[in-house]
Amino acid sequence: MRKHKLVENEFYHIYNRGTEKRRIFLDDSDYLRFLVSMRLMNDEKDGLMFLWKNYHAKYPNASLEKFLRLNLKKRKPLVEFICYSLIPNHFHFIMRQLTEKGTEKFMQRIGTGYTMYFNGKYKRTGSLFQGTFKASQIDSGNFLYLSAYVNCNAEVHGIANAESWRWSSYSYYLKKTKYGLCNKSTVMNEFKEVADYEKFAKENVSAARLKKEDEKIFLE
């Protein structure tokens, strides 16, 4: 049982990683499948993933965006995404809980659904994630810093430049991607221009990388 109840309309940093630090995304199709799950499993009524599979089988050239527009009136999200990042062996979300136990419901669905997909694809059994997801409530003092940390997590870990990493919401924040599943206004309302946020993010990425190096030296 979770120690602290997650509260509606509060912001949380949600994260988890693969069991034994294993990779949970092995190719582009895995990242895409997880992103689809983030969209379709975020609803009070379960079953949108099943409807999408049937719709896509009937109209293979139709986009997910078109499917979502057709089903928009039926949707009632459990959470609101602010930003996200998917990394080979873990993921980060910043989200706002919209309904009672919305975060738990969503995370249980996506964890179970993606594990079933991954185990079926790679012929494995057992848990994929390292226990229950971690959640920490975000206060106003570190909200903007955490948005940069999550958006640019690939660069923090030295995997890729944040601007070129396809599997985070950063490109949406920089207006390089038309569609996004995040409400970026909560963050971007604090900046006059997109370039101001980009500068802020780069500065905080550099600070986060230095901190990681310091911690590594200390542990060694």
pLDDT average, residue stretch 94-116: 95
Q: What residue ranges do the domains of the chain occupy?
A: 11-42+77-219
Write out pLDDT tens, residues 175-201. 998 777 899 999 999 999 999 999 999
Distance CA 110, CA 98 (A): 17
Q: Is the pLDDT of residue 216 over 60?
A: no
Identify whether the C-beta of residue 129 lies closer than 8 Å to the C-beta of residue 16.
yes
Residue 220 binned pLDDT confidence (cut-offs 50, 70, 90)? very low
Domain 11-42+77-219 falls in which CATH fold? Alpha-Beta Plaits (3.30.70)
CA-to-CA dists, residue 116 to 53, 113, 125, 130, 182, angstroms: 15, 5, 9, 15, 25
Count other Cβ atoms within 10 Å, centred on residue 4.
8
Mean pLDDT of all residues belonging to the chain: 87
Q: Which has the higher per-residue pLDDT, 201 or 220? A: 201
- The reported pLDDT for the residue numbered 74 is 67
